[in-house]
Chain A
Amino acid sequence: MEIDPFIFRLSIFILSIFVGYYVVWSVTPSLHTPLMSVTNAISSVIIVGAIIAALAGSTESVFETSSIFGFMAIILAAVNIFGGFLVTQRMLQMYKKKKK
């Protein structure tokens, strides 16, 4: 019997939860705020779905109901991607060691 591809995706998902678990415990508590802003930025990879949705319009019209939702999602996700990575960068620049 063939294995449903869903099972493969589920395996990736569950293994990633474990990876996330160990990686996040190793994050130093002083960087928990940047951790939140960077996770926020990377979860905006949902923009992939938004782009597919936006480009799914028919050849006659770029803007259909479904693609309009796609375009709106692109704006939201883009705010997050740029905002999230840049604000993380700004925060991380501030963490400095003692000058000896």
Chain B
Amino acid sequence: MSANLSASFYLISGILFILALRGLSSPETSRQGNYFGIAGMAISIIVTFLSIGNFGPGFIYVLIFLLVGGSIGAFIAFRIPMTAMPELVAGFHSLVGLAAVFVAISAFLKPDAFNLGYVGNIKLASLIEMSLGAAIGAITFSGSVIAFLKLKGIMSGAPITFKGQHILNLILGLIILFLIYYLCSSQSSNIFWSLIIISFFVGVLLIIPIGGADMPVVISMLNSYSGWAAAGIGFTLENTALIITGALVGSSGAILSYIMCKGMNRSFFNVILGGWGATEQATGDERKEQKPVKNGNADDAAFLMKNASSVIIVPGYGMAVAQAQHALREMVDALKKNGVKVSYAIHPVAGRMPGHMNVLLAEANVPYDEVFELEEINNDFANCDVAYVIGANDVTNPVAKSDPQSPIYGMPVLDVEKSKSVLFVKRSLSPGYAGIDNDLFYRDNTLMLFADAKKMTEEIVKNL
């Protein structure tokens, strides 16, 4: 196949990928969008085979490896529980990163196969592109592995910080740039290997200081990195599909990181430089546990909700941990039978990744038109009889609106306290991730339900 023809097909793949993302603008068109994506991928792979035109023994091996990887991927995709989606995405990012590193290594070892020049005399531009691709790929890989371990709970979600951390990162970043510069003049393979190793190291250092609840930002950021790595390799290979895709994924991840940061009213650098909960602990300790709380049980909760005309459910990460989404749906079904109007309110940073709560509710068969974003529903709390907070904490804290001293001041929060009564399902009075007390616990209209989210919800269902 001629180079011009294959380039045109790669462009078509790129357009299909754009349509795949476009489809996600509404759930109805999203499934069709996914098929566009699959078609784009199939075209890219087939065109690559045709343009190489080598159907010898190597081709058979490529097919075998493709099938092996594909079967592993399919197996994971069908078996993974929806609650494990954040870990899965982090794991997948690490694979893209590592694949980018491998392709870059291969191009460095055998540049003639990619038309990039010869060993020891690789074109300057290609060398810069491939070393950038390799460095970003390596950072994506090791960073995603750490994110995966933290999300999976193998590694503690607490931020790991030490003195001089930021300076060390800065120095390593400068070393990477210096190595790329030196690589271009020397073409030395030792420099290339050191570049990759240092980049792996930087990936680890970047992610360890970031705490559990900041994971939505981290996952989005790594998503973005995997895109830039792909684009770097795309420039090396002069491949349009890869360049377009890299740019799409890179900007997608960047936008998601921005949305997540805005949801916490923090700057991107503030999140990346780590440790929010760790540094602000002192503020929470001053005024502790003197105020009385109202303690309720499932019976009270069932009574309140049965007699309400409208209920808003506020889910958070605790719902995911307790796997309470199915019980929650049953509760809502029972309430609807009693003629209660029920809707769900989702804060942008609820959960461990963008859209985490929406997927879990969809899994429990909650229709997506009953689920609302913060801006859409926040005014409705004032006219609502009961707000049922399950597994959320900081995102409901009214302090964010009233106390300029508070570390979360200015963060957009759900106006839960405006509803006539608040049912707050929580295991104890302990503060949330931000390390500050939630004022909501001590309000007159709040009834605390101390229990596991799933058990409490099941109890309520029995009492309805």
Write the residues of chain A forming the contact surface with B, with a CB cutoff of 8 angstroms: 5-6, 9, 12-14, 16-17, 19-21, 23-57, 59, 62, 64-67, 69-99
Contact = CB atoms under 8 A, between A and B. Distances in A.
Given A33-B359, A57-B58, A97-B369, A46 B106 contact: no
A28 B27 contact: yes
Given A30-B371, A40-B223, A83-B74, A88 B99 contact: no
B49 A51 contact: yes
A98 B370 CA distance: 8
A41 B16 CA distance: 13
Given A21-B255, A33-B359, A26 B22 contact: yes
Interface of B: 10, 13-14, 17-18, 20-22, 24-27, 30-31, 33-34, 37-38, 40-41, 44-45, 48-49, 52, 54, 56-59, 61-62, 65-74, 76-78, 80, 82, 85, 88-89, 92-93, 95-96, 98-100, 102-103, 105-107, 109-110, 113-114, 125, 219-220, 223, 226-227, 230-231, 233-253, 255-256, 259, 346, 348, 353-356, 358-359, 362-363, 365, 367-371, 373
Nearest to B80: A87
Contact of B21 (A27, A44, A56): A27
B113 A56 contact: yes
16 contacts: A27-B24, A30-B371, A32-B259, A36-B253, A40-B93, A40-B96, A42-B249, A45-B17, A46-B103, A48-B44, A49-B107, A52-B114, A70-B102, A73-B103, A73-B106, A74-B65
Contact of B77 (A55, A56, A83): A83
B368 A90 contact: no
A48 B93 contact: no
A79 B94 CA distance: 11
A51 B239 CA distance: 13
A78 to B, nearest CB: 3
Contact of A36 (B45, B89, B235, B358): B89
Nearest to A84: B92
A56 B89 CA distance: 31
Contact of B25 (A26, A70, A94): A26
Contacts, number: 371
A33 B170 CA distance: 32
A33 B356 contact: yes
B22 A32 contact: no
Contacts of A44: 41, 95-96, 99
Contact of B244 (A16, A33, A54): A16
Contact of A39 (B69, B102, B249, B356): B249
Nearest to B248: A20
B95 A76 contact: yes
B103 A43 contact: no
A14 B336 CA distance: 50
Contact of B367 (A19, A36, A45, A99): A99
Contact of A89 (B14, B31, B71, B246): B31
A79 B78 contact: no
A78 B390 CA distance: 38
Contacts of A92: 27, 30-31, 34
A48 B9 CA distance: 13
B24 A16 contact: no
A9 B359 CA distance: 37
Contact of B252 (A5, A35, A95): A35
Most buried by B among A25, A26, A94: A94
A42 B103 CA distance: 16
A69 B20 CA distance: 30
